Amino acid sequence: MISEKYINDAVAQFEKVLRQQAERGEKMKEASAPKDFASLDTITIGLCGGDGIGPIIMTEAERLLKKLLSDELACGKVSLKKIEGLTIENRMEKGEAVPADVLEEIKSCDAILKGPTTTPKGGTMESANVTLRRELDLYANVRPVTVPEEGIDWMFYRENTEGEYVLGSSGIEVPGLLSMDFKVTTDEGTRRIARAAFEYARNNGKTNVSIVTKANIMKKTDGKFSKICNEVAAEYPEIKAEDWYIDIMTANLVNKAIRSQFQVFVLPNLYGDIITDEAAEIQGGVGTAGSANIGDHYAMFEAIHGSAPRMIEDGLAAYANPSSIFKAAEMLLRHIGLTEKADKLSEALHICCDTEKKLVVTGFADGDTCKDFADYVMSKI
């Protein structure tokens, strides 16, 4: 029979996290106005290498940005700031998912371009991404996926600071018996991601938003998410809002007969994490997709793939594909208002990845190198 000590300890721990999350929900109601990048004298872009293949692809991304932003860098409109220390070695040594001094450097920037970071399996160390999303309040994970020849033009709005991830290191364990983790859905957290998705749809001429949950099973959390998204949808009568369950939506994305009908998706954290990788695979693999983590005052852009430790172990790091981090860089440029620069990069990537395809990065020695592909892209700008 379970010991009363375990029950009491679990109740105390649950009370602690419940109070913390309730306080977080209240604070969201007091948020200040979003940052206006157009009003900034200088926009500071932080560059974080990360782990594994991260420094390899970020080296090329830095070269790319310096070429694209040569005028802005010369006149001081934009500055690039290299941020060291967001490595697994430094994080493990300091016992912090994001060391305090590194976080301070990141907060001194307006936007971050970041390589992939490794999260230790097991233990209590939180993912660096989860920590950064919480500390910078990057509530919207935005991922575009396009396959023009198949009529696919998807935009995913994944809630980024709640769900199963916000308390992923704060679960309860009864040794030899059971473990429990927590899932959190707040009213304000849901409302702001829903509004971001519907605003994007309205501003970009989209007519359909898919609300993706498992509300028939997760009745409190996903039920709340669906309810609030539909309340927000009522403010956008020109846009059709449809509820879908996550299991059938994962099937819909590989159903060629209907998948082109979908446009914008809004969904909770865990489901969004999984389904956007599926969508990226349809586009050509996770190495081809960029990702934006956007809040009202900070934004972080990254490749959606991991740090690829196997490529490092196999001596293949030089063959890593920089396409994902390049697409993340394109999203960064759009976010800070440099649309013309973003368009140039988008066109170059389209030529190199979709039309000419003179160089192909496979991740193996039979393909082209990261640097060679970067040179190819830059030759088209």
- Does any domain span residue 217? no
User: DSSP states of 351-369 as a string?
Assistant: IIIII---S---SSTTS--
| Cα-based torsion angle of the residue sequence 326, 256, 223, 177 in order, rounded to the nearest 10 degrees | -80
pLDDT at 1: 65
- Does any domain span residue 104? yes
Q: Which positions of the chain have pLDDT values less than 70? A: 1, 287
Q: For residue 361, what are its two tokens? A: 């990065």
Instruction: Tell me, letter by letter, the H, E, C secondary structure of 110-149.
Output: CEEEECCCCCCCCCCCCCHHHHHHHHCCCCEEEEEEEEHH
CATH number at residue 317: 3.40.718.10
- Does any domain span residue 170? no
Map residue 158 onto helix, strand or coil. Answer: strand
- Does any domain span residue 163? no
Nearest to 326 by CA among 350, 349, 343, 299: 349
Q: How far apart are CA 339 and CA 344, in angstroms?
A: 9
pLDDT at 10: 85
pLDDT at 275: 96
- Does any domain span residue 357? yes
Q: Cβ neighbours of residue 46 under 8 Å, at least 6 residues apart?
A: 81, 82, 83, 105, 106, 108, 109, 111, 112, 113, 114
Based on the structure, what is the number of domains in the chain?
A: 1
- Per DSSP, 163 falls in state B
Domain that holds residue 308: 35-138+295-381
- Does any domain span residue 167? no
- Does any domain span residue 322? yes
Q: Cβ neighbours of residue 298 under 8 Å, at least 6 residues apart?
A: 107, 109, 110, 111, 112, 136, 137, 138
- Does any domain span residue 40? yes
